[in-house]
Structure 1
Amino acid sequence: MDAVDVIDVARDALLITLIISAPVMLVGLIIGLIISIFQALTHIQEMTLVFVPKILVVFASLFVLLPFMLSTLLTFTQGLVDRMIALG
């Protein structure tokens, strides 16, 4: 395995990390934005109002998106194992 292969695997790993984490992060971002707008409109500045709904929605999105995340990770892992077998 030369430097090009290592860089290619590292690039693929970073891309898969972004693909897996992006949907959950976007859900958290959208919920945080909605709660911030609600707080600005109602002048309620309660700190727990931000965290509790965001945590609940992020956990719910993790359960909903878990099959997609696992299939993406399994595809990457299978490709990585195939690449190692081809080199060995």
Structure 2
Amino acid sequence: MTTGEIMDLLYRLFLMAVKIGGPIIIISMVVGVVISIVQAATQINEQTLTFVPKLIVIGVMLIVMGNSMLKSLQEFTLYVFGMIAG
């Protein structure tokens, strides 16, 4: 493999990581901010109040987007194996 091919592979790897992990992280952050605002407004300081909704939302996101995430990973794996094969 040449240096250019390795750089292309790393670029695709980072894009794949953002494509798969980005939506979950962004939704988790939004839920965390909303819960924090509610906690600040009501002065309820309970740690599990932020954990449980995030867990539920992440689970729902994985159920909804899991199929497309798996397909993306499969395509990337086939691409990498194709590069290894020649």
Give the TM-score normalised by structure 1: 0.87
| Deviation of 1:54 (Å) | 0.9
Tell whether 2:82 aligns with 1:46: no
Equivalent position SS for 1:44? coil
One-letter code aligned to 1:59:
G
Q: In structure 2, how many angstroms separate the alpha carbons of the residues matched to 1:69 and 1:3?
A: 28
Calculate percent identity across the aligned residue pairs: 33
One-letter code aligned to 2:49:
L
Q: In structure 2, how many angstroms separate the alpha carbons of the residues matched to 1:79 and 1:42?
A: 51
One-letter code aligned to 2:57:
V
Equivalent position SS for 1:31? helix
One-letter code aligned to 1:31:
V
**CA offsets 1:48-83 (integer angstroms, 9 cap, x no match):** 111111112112211211011011111212222222
Segments of 5+ residues of structure 2 without an aligned counterpart are: none
Question: Could you list the runs of 4 or more consecutive aligned residues of structure 1 that deviate by over 4 angstroms after TM superposition?
Answer: none
Q: In structure 1, how many angstroms separate the alpha carbons of the residues matched to 2:81 and 2:47?
A: 46
Tell whether 2:11 aligns with 1:15: no
Pairs within 5 Å for 1:7-86 = 7-85=7-85
Q: In structure 2, how many angstroms separate the alpha carbons of the residues matched to 1:65 and 1:75?
A: 16
| Deviation of 1:3 (Å) | 1.4
